């Protein structure tokens, strides 16, 4: 579909899906975008909840993850446990080997600490470019974005059009609280990343993520050595 047709289809569905419980909305969208709907997971609380909703209903929604090569061991454990529990195979997308080899050879393995430019280059190679490949050919992208994550996301619509990737984005848990997530995970016995129990709320690459203190901003544990205004990786450029 062209971008204009996708935008019209999004407008037609918007009121309906935003008033539905997430499970029902996902089922409807799986029908409307058959074969062209995809969920990205980093195995966070949010993504595990959505994956459960998809896999427990056997919805025809593809699930993928971006393996940057520098994830926590706990993240790989949740990935394996999720595959086992739901008898599934979450697809992995990896950095372009040539781009990564050139970057690390020229800049060094920890160059992201040296400058914002280096860090964003590293994020682009390890995350953004693989994401573009993962989304290619699809029409709707399901994410775990929540309004509670940051002030910038407080006014985010539940369904929107991503101009950068020319795809519709749907955020089924946009208005859920962290307590809502914990309760759903406990009620359904969903595997989750135990780093969440140690103060890690936003979990990415191991060298770039640390625990936060009570009262800290949700994103305070990501790229903590940088100025606050630069704390994005490009996956959700305007979010």
| Domain residue extents for the chain | 3-230
Sheet holding 159-162, edge to edge: 91-93, 62-66, 37-40, 140-142, 167-170, 159-162
The mean pLDDT value of the chain amounts to: 92
* Residue whose C-alpha is closest to residue 195's, from 55, 42, 40: 42
Give the pLDDT of residue 65: 98
Instruction: Determine how many CB atoms are found less than 10 A away from the CB of residue 108.
Output: 12
Question: Cα separation of 176 and 124, whole Å?
Answer: 29
Is it the case that residue 125 has pLDDT exceeding 60? yes
Active site amino acids = 233
Euclidean distance between CA atoms 54 and 39, whole angstroms: 9
DSSP annotation of 111 reads G
Which pLDDT tens digit goes with each residue over 19-71? 999 999 999 999 999 999 999 999 999 999 999 999 999 999 999 999 999 99
pLDDT at 164 over 70: yes
Contacts of 201 (CB under 8 A, 6+ apart): 178, 212, 218, 221
The backbone torsions φ and ψ at residue 31, rounded to the nearest 5 degrees and listed phi first, read -75, -45
Considering Cα of 110, then 119, then 133, then 145, what sign does the dihedral take?
positive
Query: How many Cα neighbours within 13 Å face the side chain of 231?
Result: 20
Residue with tokens 């909305």: 25
Q: Which fold has domain 3-230?
A: Rossmann fold (3.40.50)
10 Cβ contact partners less than 8 Å away, ≥ 6 residues apart: 159, 160, 161, 168
Least Cα distance to 203 among 44, 19, 10 occurs for: 44
Among 44-53, 81-90, 202-211, 227-236, the range scoring the smallest mean pLDDT is 227-236
Asked if 69 and 204 touch (Cβ cutoff 8 Å), the reply is no
Q: β-pairing, 167-170 with 140-142?
A: parallel
Q: pLDDT band for 219, please (50, 70, 90 cuts).
A: confident
Token pair 């020229």: residue: 106
Q: State the residue for tokens 């427990």.
A: 56
Written as six digits, the tokens of 185 are 């995970």
pTM above 0.85, yes or no: yes
Q: How far apart are CA 68 and CA 130, in angstroms?
A: 9
């Amino acid at each position: 579909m062209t971008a204009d047709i996708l935008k019209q289809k999004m407008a037609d569905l918007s009121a309906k899906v935003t008033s539905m419980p997430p499970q029902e909305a996902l089922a409807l969208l799986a029908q409307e975008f058959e074969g062209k709907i995809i969920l990205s997971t980093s195995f966070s609380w949010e993504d595990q909840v959505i994956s459960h909703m998809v896999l427990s209903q056997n919805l025809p929604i593809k699930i993928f993850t971006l393996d940057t090569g520098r994830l926590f061991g706990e993240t790989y454990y949740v990935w394996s446990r999720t595959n086992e529990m739901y008898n599934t195979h979450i697809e992995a997308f990896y950095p372009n080997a040539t781009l990564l080899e050139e970057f690390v050879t020229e800049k060094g393995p920890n160059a992201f600490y040296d400058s914002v430019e280096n860090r964003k280059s590293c994020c682009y190679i390890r995350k953004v470019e693989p994401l573009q490949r993962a989304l290619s050919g699809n029409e709707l992208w399901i994410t775990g974005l929540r309004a509670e994550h940051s002030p910038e996301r407080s006014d985010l619509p539940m369904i929107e059009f991503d101009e950068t990737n020319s795809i519709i984005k749907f955020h089924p848990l946009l208005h859920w609280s962290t307590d809502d997530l914990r309760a759903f995970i406990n009620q359904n016995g969903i595997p989750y990343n135990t780093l969440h129990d140690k103060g890690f709320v936003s979990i990415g690459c191991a060298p770039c993520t640390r625990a936060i203190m009570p009262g800290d901003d949700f994103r305070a544990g990501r790229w903590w050595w940088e100025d606050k205004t630069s704390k994005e990786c490009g996956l959700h450029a305007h979010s």
